Amino acid sequence: MIRAFTVVFALSILSCASGADVTLRASDSVYPISFSQSIVDEQGAVYQPEDEEIVGHFKRSWRHWDWIYGYVSLSRHVDLGKLVDAEIEKQKGDAVVHLSVRGSFWKTWYLTSLFIIIPESVGIAVEGDVVRRQRDAP
């Protein structure tokens, strides 16, 4: 009985270090990306796009899987810059505003974290508005 309690207690302590880990970067993005409603234009001034300049909305989601407390990655990392750039090019835009990034865990993470053989995951959802700036005619 004591041995079983010790094993369960040890696994519970180890499970505190569990969970999938993912890093999102957009350092190589060609286009401006903003978490707010504004972007910085070519002259360095803050520009707030009008409603009619929003040419589309995108939303992408996926799960990132890790195993053995995050030491083994079972899914490839996603470059957020490439994902956003592809959406901008697809919709023939100039930038993204209102970018939102959310992460979520499964509701049963506390059970799967007790057993090292079960992979763990984190859900990632990215969405934003693609804008095309209407430049003033000369």
Query: How long, in residues, is the chain?
Result: 138
Q: What is the mean pLDDT of residues 3-29?
A: 65
Q: Rounded to whole angstroms, how far apart are CA atoms 5 and 85?
A: 52
Give the confidence band of 137 by pLDDT, cuts at 50, 70, 90: very low
Report which of 14, 40, 24 is spatially closest to residue 131, judged by C-alpha positions: 40
Q: Rounded to whole angstroms, how far apart are CA atoms 92 and 132?
A: 7
Tens-digit pLDDT profile for residues 46-105: 888 888 888 999 998 888 777 666 666 766 677 888 889 999 999 999 889 999 988 877
3-state DSSP assignment of residue 22: coil
Give the confidence band of 13 by pLDDT, cuts at 50, 70, 90: low
Which pTM was predicted?
Answer: 0.69
Report which of 67, 69, 82, 65 is spatially closest to residue 22, judged by C-alpha positions: 65
Residue scoring higher pLDDT (34 or 17): 34
Residue 88: predicted pLDDT: 92
Tens-digit pLDDT profile for residues 91-129: 999 889 999 988 877 655 556 556 666 677 778 889 999
Residue 21: predicted pLDDT: 62
Cβ contact 29:99 at 8 Å: no
Residue 87: predicted pLDDT: 92
Q: Rounded to whole angstroms, how far apart are CA atoms 117 and 113?
A: 9
In 1-138 the beta strands, taken as DSSP E runs, fall at 39-40, 46-47, 54-67, 72-73, 95-105, 120-131
Residue 57: predicted pLDDT: 94
Q: Rounded to whole angstroms, how far apart are CA atoms 33 and 81?
A: 9
